[in-house]
Structure 1
């Protein structure tokens, strides 16, 4: 079974340190989950993720895995863990966001959503039930419910209608989850998702609906999708006032290092985002002193380590000048080094936040760190 033990809460705020226990190992929270959309964290080998970056859990995506390699391949492999030779926990998003952001000609109904693949145009259908079935085949330790994610600028009428649809889907998905069993002998948890766009009353209603389902954990979706940052933080606060304290809280798809620190301060436990690897592939490095664009000419003759304060071996093994050279030369090693560095930094950030929460000085450390990580070097 999945369990969550809350170990410490910051004396000045709502930041929490805890432990999630799964059949495949413990996850110390707050935690960042590297995104392995199609069964791989782009450009990063599994042993690097475990031994260097210290990833405790990674994230896969139901939409992408359903399209490629497909349920048949994954099931014959014995599940995604066996397929990619990953021994630690995996969380899978339901694919709802991707259906609405990538797929063509989507058609919503009470039954589910019909869409065309962004790969080949093939027609597919997702329902709250068959998304659970696909995640049973994937074998993820934590699976997400099917939901609709409205845009950040959705008007109230659209957001309200969308939330009603999502809540109906949640109830059906939860009922189907309880009627089905894991395929590979390991417990799977199911997390419902709070939606409601930027409207406090909708967020509270959604959080109450999610809480009533009594799932093993809960997620906050539909943020960092174009709304102002202050509104995102407000919606996190509104939602966490309702969500139970004894269950892990997962903020989906967020975000920058500053976003993560602010969300931790508001009581969030779990995070994922493509930013460390996506921005890394474009030469942006996140550090405890600020953001580096390694492609800038100012680094051409800088032979100091990539990040003297970094925790990954690549930070000490390579120089800024060499890493810049790799990017300018369009060598694949450049984006790989930057991705490893960024992921290691994100894992360091949440690990240090945890230590500060337990020590009782998170608030003062966070205030300084939020300023540091947002500045350009």
Structure 2
């Protein structure tokens, strides 16, 4: 993987860059649609490629390990071939999913024992076998196994967890050296900064991760319930330490406003289930604010879903029609809303990129934050 910085905003720390991998070019800043179980929910790969057009999507190691299971993915030739996706894929390590199973998992130095949310069967994730699982899945960018702490989190617990995450990182690196590639392309490894919302821990962790010398770095343990101001404060602390010549990935973030504010702090890569999950509940994100398409006010509104939208659904269908689909619980409504939201997120980061290169990102960002905060 090669990362090139092309421009930096004069009034913020926003960067525009390029990531080159064996599966193509990723223009940053970038939002990665979440393809949990080898599918971005409700979207055909052809629509994903032709209309939403992301350079990279995300897969979940935990979910892919359980279903379809790694032996199926290996027999298919990896996740790219299994789901017919010839662009970039990033896989998380499963750490966040294990965190979310708090009632059904036990964390020890060796790793994490957890019960499947599907059938209650018992499994163990360790730094070593998570590296092997991600080798088999075959993503272009793979993540270190870490512990994602909750919010709020006791300082001493956050400190112990951070140090364990650092020890797990060393085990991940050692095992990767012994685990050959399974397919005919390279994989790039990202370690993860932890430390909850404690500045001194975040500084310590960011320095440790920076010294690991990876080709890219991730920031974890945010967007887990903390106020947005704390998220921004921690992201700023970490971005000021992580190397400028390597991409920075803020995991699991977030709202359109969160994304713009973190771009301004120097973050390059994002993922979140919000655009797809909220779409299935009738919430549409637009440049002028959010729309609850289920509201009665749209019943006789025959204007396009979003006149400024970049996907075909934005102009092919009206707000009144989309509201009708949700009212009668028609699956097509959720699909239209999902395509719209993902298209908007990709438009947003690409528009941010244009303004970074043009040199007026800060002014544009401040205006967009005010506009998008509206309820339409």
TM-score range, shorter chain: over 0.9
What does residue 253 of structure 1 align with?
252
State yes or no: 1:375 paired with 2:374: yes
- Name the SS of the counterpart of 1:206 in structure 2: helix
State yes or no: 1:210 paired with 2:209: yes
- Name the SS of the counterpart of 1:250 in structure 2: strand
What does residue 107 of structure 1 align with?
106
- Name the SS of the counterpart of 2:186 in structure 1: coil
Please report how far the alpha carbon of residue 102 of structure 1 lies from its aligned counterpart in structure 2 after TM superposition. Answer: 2.8
State yes or no: 1:364 paired with 2:343: no
Partners in 2 of 1:288 and 1:75 — Cα distance? Answer: 41
Partners in 2 of 1:17 and 1:248 — Cα distance? Answer: 10
What does residue 140 of structure 1 align with?
139
Partners in 2 of 1:326 and 1:107 — Cα distance? Answer: 43
What does residue 123 of structure 1 align with?
122
Contact kept in structure 2, 1:198 and 1:232, CA below 8 Å: yes
Please report how far the alpha carbon of residue 143 of structure 1 lies from its aligned counterpart in structure 2 after TM superposition. Answer: 0.5
- Name the SS of the counterpart of 2:35 in structure 1: coil
What does residue 299 of structure 1 align with?
298
Contact kept in structure 1, 2:34 and 2:273, CA below 8 Å: yes
State yes or no: 1:331 paired with 2:330: yes
Contact kept in structure 2, 1:103 and 1:117, CA below 8 Å: no
What does residue 186 of structure 1 align with?
185
Contact kept in structure 2, 1:177 and 1:190, CA below 8 Å: no
**Cα deviation code 1:278-320 (max 9, x no counterpart):** 0000000000010000000000000000001111110000000
Matches within 5 A, 1:158-307: 158-307=157-306
Please report how far the alpha carbon of residue 54 of structure 1 lies from its aligned counterpart in structure 2 after TM superposition. Answer: 1.0
What does residue 44 of structure 1 align with?
43
What does residue 355 of structure 1 align with?
354
Contact kept in structure 2, 1:10 and 1:360, CA below 8 Å: yes
Please report how far the alpha carbon of residue 66 of structure 1 lies from its aligned counterpart in structure 2 after TM superposition. Answer: 0.4
Please report how far the alpha carbon of residue 103 of structure 1 lies from its aligned counterpart in structure 2 after TM superposition. Answer: 6.2
**Cα deviation code 1:235-268 (max 9, x no counterpart):** 0000011100011000000000000000000000
After TM superposition, the score normalised by the length of structure 1 is 0.99
Partners in 2 of 1:180 and 1:19 — Cα distance? Answer: 28
Partners in 2 of 1:214 and 1:131 — Cα distance? Answer: 20
Contact kept in structure 2, 1:104 and 1:117, CA below 8 Å: no
Partners in 1 of 2:251 and 2:90 — Cα distance? Answer: 11
Contact kept in structure 1, 2:36 and 2:63, CA below 8 Å: yes
Partners in 2 of 1:299 and 1:182 — Cα distance? Answer: 52
Contact kept in structure 1, 2:251 and 2:271, CA below 8 Å: yes
Please report how far the alpha carbon of residue 216 of structure 1 lies from its aligned counterpart in structure 2 after TM superposition. Answer: 1.0
Contact kept in structure 1, 2:104 and 2:114, CA below 8 Å: yes
Please report how far the alpha carbon of residue 55 of structure 1 lies from its aligned counterpart in structure 2 after TM superposition. Answer: 1.0
Stretches of structure 1 lacking an aligned partner (at least 5 in a row): none
What does residue 312 of structure 1 align with?
311
Contact kept in structure 1, 2:101 and 2:114, CA below 8 Å: no
Aligned residue-pair number = 376
Partners in 2 of 1:374 and 1:62 — Cα distance? Answer: 33
Partners in 2 of 1:72 and 1:281 — Cα distance? Answer: 31
Contact kept in structure 1, 2:251 and 2:270, CA below 8 Å: yes
- Name the SS of the counterpart of 2:152 in structure 1: coil
- Name the SS of the counterpart of 2:37 in structure 1: coil
Seen in structure 2, the aligned counterparts of structure 1 residues 352 and 365 have a Cα distance that, compared at 3 Å, is same
After TM superposition, the score normalised by the length of structure 2 is 0.99
Contact kept in structure 2, 1:16 and 1:267, CA below 8 Å: yes
Please report how far the alpha carbon of residue 104 of structure 1 lies from its aligned counterpart in structure 2 after TM superposition. Answer: 4.5
**Cα deviation code 1:121-168 (max 9, x no counterpart):** 111110111100000000000001110011120010110011111110
Contact kept in structure 2, 1:20 and 1:28, CA below 8 Å: yes
What does residue 54 of structure 1 align with?
53
